[in-house]
């Protein structure tokens, strides 16, 4: 497998809570451009924004980055990535990192780590990241997705539930919170060939129950390598409060 990688940034214009979210400005610059710059700093060979709106295409291209118009019918960013891989005719062994368009504070080193994790092994065609959890409240928070891994760092299961369940401590005792649990970080790298297979698979029951798209991959018998990093990155932008928080951080 080659030692270079691409970054695709899915960016939909429509958002129920923040319409036009990718074009909202943070410290005087559109959010999507902050993400593009982070991807470039990660050492990506190519950065492509995958969108369903010409306004986003125009903004991105005027800033010197590439953008591809994709179908408005996609139900996930992964499907949008697959369309980009096909449109740009990337070879099956091309490493593609999915970097969300609403995470302007994503550290470039995490983007690169997700790509390297895939390139460093030959078992999986999908990689992601996780970080240890030290707060018990986070273990029990359904919005914090947990991952259990095998001895070599491959995912066994992802869940919103507190896994692994500490039989002797939960739920009566507070628990030690010493990092036996790992929170999944939602950045992925794939091979382009995997993306082409993925879009042929139906939604599975586990994915629907947990509302976790990655469970479709495990259900199909595919592996996901999930190395651990020190900490979870700053949260992305879902609400006006998030936008205000990040604006304050970047405007200092």
Residue 49 has pLDDT above 70, yes or no: yes
Provide the pLDDT confidence category of residue 2 given band limits of 50, 70 and 90: very low
The CATH code of the domain that includes 176 is 3.90.550.10
Residue 1 inside a domain? The answer is: no
Burial class (CB in 10 A: 0-12, 13-18, 19+), 94: buried
Contacts of the segment 238-244: beta carbons below 8 A, 24+ positions apart: 238/17, 238/18, 238/102, 239/17, 239/18, 240/17, 240/18, 243/18, 243/24, 243/26
Residue 243 inside a domain? The answer is: yes
SS3 158: strand
Residue matched to tokens 């590439």: 66
Number of domains in the chain: 1
Domain that holds residue 132: 6-251
- pLDDT tens sequence across 189-231: 999 999 999 999 999 999 999 999 999 999 999 999 999 999 8
What's the pTM?
0.91
Residue 156 inside a domain? The answer is: yes
How far is 228 from 23, CA to CA, in rounded Å? 32
Residue 129 has pLDDT above 90, yes or no: yes
Helix or strand holding residue 67 (H, E): strand 66-69
Across the chain, mean pLDDT equals 91
Residue 25 inside a domain? The answer is: yes
Helix or strand holding residue 48 (H, E): strand 46-51
Q: Report which of residues 234 and 192 the model is more confident about.
A: 192
- pLDDT tens sequence across 150-202: 999 999 999 999 999 988 878 766 555 566 899 999 999 999 999 999 999 99
How far is 47 from 41, CA to CA, in rounded Å? 10
Please, what is the Cα angle at 78 between 247 and 14, to 5 degrees? 50
- pLDDT tens sequence across 102-116: 999 999 999 999 999
- Least confident range from 6-20, 123-137, 148-162, 179-193: namely 6-20
Residue 30 inside a domain? The answer is: yes
Ordered alpha helix ranges (H), 88-202: 108-119, 136-139, 192-198
């Amino acid at each position: 497998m080659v030692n270079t990688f691409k970054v695709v940034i899915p960016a939909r214009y429509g958002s129920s809570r923040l319409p036009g979210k990718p074009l909202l400005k943070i410290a005087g610059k559109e959010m999507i451009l902050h993400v593009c710059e982070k991807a470039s700093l990660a050492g990506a060979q190519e950065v492509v924004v995958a969108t369903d709106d010409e306004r986003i295409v125009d903004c991105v291209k005027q800033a010197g980055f590439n953008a591809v118009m994709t179908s408005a019918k996609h139900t996930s960013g992964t499907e949008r990535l697959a369309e980009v891989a096909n449109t740009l005719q990337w070879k099956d062994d091309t490493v593609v990192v999915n970097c969300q368009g609403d995470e302007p504070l994503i550290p470039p080193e995490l983007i690169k780590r997700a790509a390297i994790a895939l390139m460093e092994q030959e078992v999986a065609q999908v990689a992601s990241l996780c970080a240890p959890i030290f707060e018990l409240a986070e273990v029990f928070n359904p919005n914090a997705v947990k991952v259990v891994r095998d001895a070599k760092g491959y995912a066994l299961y992802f869940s919103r539930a507190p896994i692994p369940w500490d039989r002797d401590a939960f739920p009566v005792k507070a628990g030690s919170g010493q990092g036996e649990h790992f929170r999944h970080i939602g950045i992925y790298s794939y091979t382009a060939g995997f993306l082409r297979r993925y879009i042929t698979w139906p939604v599975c029951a586990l994915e629907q129950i947990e509302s976790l798209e990655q469970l479709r991959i495990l259900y199909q018998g595919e592996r996901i390598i999930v190395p651990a990093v020190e900490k979870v990155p700053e949260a992305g932008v879902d609400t006006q409060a998030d936008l205000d928080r990040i604006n304050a951080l970047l405007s200092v």
